Each structure stands twice: as structure tokens, then as C-alpha cells.
Structure 1
């Protein structure tokens, strides 16, 4: 039922500004610093300690954004894959130390994949590539998923270039683990809809169904990954929020904006439209 309570994806440095807003309603929160290579290769435990200090009194649902720069989940090179695998495991360690229950990872599926996989009557250039991509992703994330299961962390796979949301859903389901679920980025889906022929954003939500555990809320114009506050672009927010409200579960809902200072503007718009609180 609308309106839905939403939170935000923030850097630790933004927590003093939004701490009271987060705590007064115990909103969803995603700490984003952990996608930076220098963080996971450096003193991430110090950052965890600082975040925990800033979040004294916070009892909302907590997640982190995992690494993704140059770390594709389907890495095939036998020398590089162990490095990538280790980085994801380290990120799960950081999430567990923080007390987070989710970690966002990026989908391995590309625009090229959709046009070349062999499971469509108008295509079929590389019929076995989809299965190989799933197998490589399972192998690379095996240690991270095992640790996530032990620590009570869920990996949520976010759409990036995805055209067919079923590919990502099938990938998540292939792990047969409660520690792997789906994430949707509304701006990414809106870009894919306009630029590459993907379905509209609300269709991504409906396709994910009970597997959807996390949503990045950001507006865009369908041309690029804008990360604007809702109301500034052309996402059909009423359709998106109705689709989320119809789910049997409540995924983490966080504003992921290019400028954290736009959070008040986003909340003003979504509150006025009766969608969020």
C-alpha cells in the first residue's frame, strides 16, 4: 500500500547530514564507500568503525554497495578470476563487520549478450554463451556466497545494461541460495528501455517478483545514467511504485542520487505524489 517508506544510498561522509532523517523513521540505508577499490584494499575496518559510530541509534535496514570497477562477475581469465573473487569476498567481510544484511553487485549481462545469445528465434549467434556466463559467475562468487550465507548477508544483483530482466533473474535463481537475490536500478532500466528496447521500469519490478530485495531509486531521461532526483526526469514513478507496492515483500528502497543534496527535493516530489514517505 502506498506511500512507501524510503531511504538513501550515501557515503559515510554524508551520514552527519542525514543521520537524524534516517534515524527518526529508521529508513533503509546503503553505505556506498565499499565500491571504491582503495577502500577494500585499504583500511576498510577503520571505515566500518566510523560508520558504526555515526549510526549509533540506527535500527533500519542496512546494506552496502559492493565493488564493481573492472571486476566483472563472469571473468574468464584463470589468473584474474581469483583476484576478482577475493575482492567480492572481502566486500562481504566488510558488510558483515558493519552489520549490513545486503550487498549490491553488478549484473554481468551486456547489450552484446542480448543480441548474441541463442535463446531467441531472431538471434542465435552464440547459443551456449549464456550458460557459460552463468557458470563463470557461479564459480567466481562461490566463496562470497558461502560467506554471505554464513554471515546473514544477501547479495543483490543490480541491472546495468540488462535488456531482458529474465536473464538476471535466472542467474540469481541458479545459485539456489537465499543469499542471492535481485536489485533494480530504475535509471538503468529506464535507459535500457529507451536506448536498447528493454521493457519499461515497472516491468523489471514485476519480472523480479518475489526475488526483488533492493531498489535504487533515481530518475533519468532515457539517454544516460543521470541519477537525478525523482521528478526531474521521465521515469513513470506511479507505475514503478504501484509495481513495488504489489510485491509480497518490501525490498530495500533507497534514493541513489548523483548529488546527496537533492534528497530533500526527491522526498518533496515523491511525498507530494503520494508515493513515498
Structure 2
């Protein structure tokens, strides 16, 4: 498990980015650009309902290794028909099977973590207990498969009415299997601050999704644009013993950004965040 009781420092965390940064997907040219900017780790967004849609990742994972980079994680697909908490048993069965196939493919890329959404939405208060039971059963089955493959599933905290929208509910989901960890997406936390979530979940956090937001809904902005107290977030992560990548999940949206967000810009913001943390601590 990433994380522990020994305090770490942000300067120990390698810089990473999700392929969600790149409109149209990751290419060899963009991979080289990321390496030049100082990106060390990648998260591949699985692009299909099965591993068959990810053929180009085989080449890109090999190329990343040649460049001295690693594919830290794969983000398993999500959506209304890709919901491990579905009340439809056939949907759950199919999605457990397809997620397992993707993880089997991802092992070849060298991944350590498989990021998983515990549900889609909307979920009403009345159906929430049943959906939690289904999600936990699916997590138990998937974690068994992940253990077999040498991969750890990281359950992602989610916004709005999704399952796992609070630290308390994330901890309940972790009870499904002892090998489960948490992916802390700081821009998904609408019911508590990111630092409060980190303090509550602590060493269970094994991966991150880093971006900023307005506190009202997810935005996937570049840090500094929104309301997150980054010094407090970094301090909470360090105290929790986090030692994985500082993994961005920033999204380029033409309607919102004057200029595209590049890997170089991610690296510059990370340097600024570390400098601010050092001044404050």
C-alpha cells in the first residue's frame, strides 16, 4: 500500500498526469513533450468497454519505458452502463468481467493501480443502501482479480450523489476487501474539504487526481484557479505518509482556457506549489 505512518514531503512525489490532459488522446509526440517537461508517471484512461480499444497503449507504454517514464495507473471506464453498483445483476457481471480484462491488459503496461469509480449517478437516498451492497460485492470480486494480477484497485471518491462522496462512505466501501485503496480526487469533494477527507482517510490513499474547482462541482481546473487550499492539502498528504505520484487530472476545455494547458504548464504549477509549501512549513 502506498501511504503509511511516516511523514513524507511533496518533493519526494514524482510528477504525473492523466492522459485526460490531451485532447484526442496520447500520442508519441505528446509523450515526448511530457517527458521533456519533467513528467515521470502516467495514468492511461482506458478508452473502451474492453481492452480491445486500447491497442495503441501497448506501444505507448513501451515508448514510455524507453523514455524513463512509468505507467503508474489505468483509469477503468465508467458510465451509466459501466456501473459496478447497478441494480441489474447482468450489468454488474459484465462490467466485472470487462474490468478484469482491462486490468489483464494493463499489467503489460506495468501499472501499479487501477482507478475505479464505485458508481454512476443519480442515486436516491432510498436506493443508496442497496447500491452500496452491490458496489461492495463487485469491489470484493474485482479486488480478488486484481490481487491475482498484482494490481491494487484504488476506489475513487466521487461528487454529487455518487457512492463514495464522503470520507465515511469511502471507508465503508473499503470494508469490501483488505487490499483496496483510495484514489483521492480533490476536485470531487463537495461535502468536506479535501484536507479533511485526507485526514480522515489517511494512509488508505494510494493515488491522486489533482485539479482545482469552485467548491460547488467538479471542474478539473489547473491548481490556483479555484478554491482549494493547496498548502493544507499537501500538508495533510505528507502527514498521512503519501508517497505516490502527484498525479494531475486536469482537462483541457476550449471554452474555458485562453491557451491549452501543456505538460510544461503542469510542471511549472507543481514547482510553484512546492515552493509555497516550503515557505508555509
Match of residue 169, structure 2, among 157, 160, 167: 167
Structure 1 position 146 matched with structure 2 position 152: no
- The residue number in structure 2 matching 1:267 is 270
**Gapped runs of 5+ residues in structure 2?**
1-7, 20-25, 253-260
Distance 1:75 1:149, change over 3 A: same
Q: 1-side partners of 2:119 and 2:135: how far apart?
A: 8
Structure 1 position 52 matched with structure 2 position 52: no
Q: Which moved more, 1:160-169 or 1:207-216?
A: 160-169
- What TM-score, normalized by structure 1, do the two folds share? 0.79
Structure 1 position 78 matched with structure 2 position 80: no
Q: 1-side partners of 2:102 and 2:60: how far apart?
A: 17
**Gapped runs of 5+ residues in structure 1?**
117-125, 193-197
- CA drift at 1:61: 6.7
Q: Which has the higher contact order (CA 8 A, sep 6+)?
A: 2
Contact 2:139-2:176 within 8 A present in 1 as well:
no
Match of residue 18, structure 2, among 6, 10, 13: 10
- The secondary structure found in structure 1 opposite 2:84 is coil
Distance 1:57 1:238, change over 3 A: same
Distance 1:218 1:6, change over 3 A: farther
Q: 1-side partners of 2:128 and 2:9: how far apart?
A: 41
Q: 2-side partners of 1:112 and 1:188: how far apart?
A: 16
Structure 1 position 258 matched with structure 2 position 251: yes
Contact 1:101-1:154 within 8 A present in 2 as well:
yes
Distance 1:69 1:163, change over 3 A: closer
- What TM-score, normalized by structure 2, do the two folds share? 0.78
Q: Which moved more, 1:217-226 or 1:50-59?
A: 50-59
Distance 1:224 1:164, change over 3 A: closer
Distance 1:150 1:58, change over 3 A: farther
Q: 1-side partners of 2:153 and 2:37: how far apart?
A: 26
- The residue number in structure 2 matching 1:66 is 76
Instruction: Give CA deviations for 1:16-63 in whole Å, capped at 9, x if unaligned.
Output: 21123447xxx343222x1x226x353424422332223314365711
Match of residue 36, structure 2, among 20, 23, 31: 20
- The residue number in structure 1 matching 2:44 is 31
- The residue number in structure 2 matching 1:238 is 231
Moved over 4 A (4+): 109-113
Contact 1:212-1:251 within 8 A present in 2 as well:
no
Alpha-carbon RMSD across the aligned residues, in angstroms, is 2.6
- CA drift at 1:99: 0.9
State how many pairs are aligned.
248
Distance 1:266 1:249, change over 3 A: closer
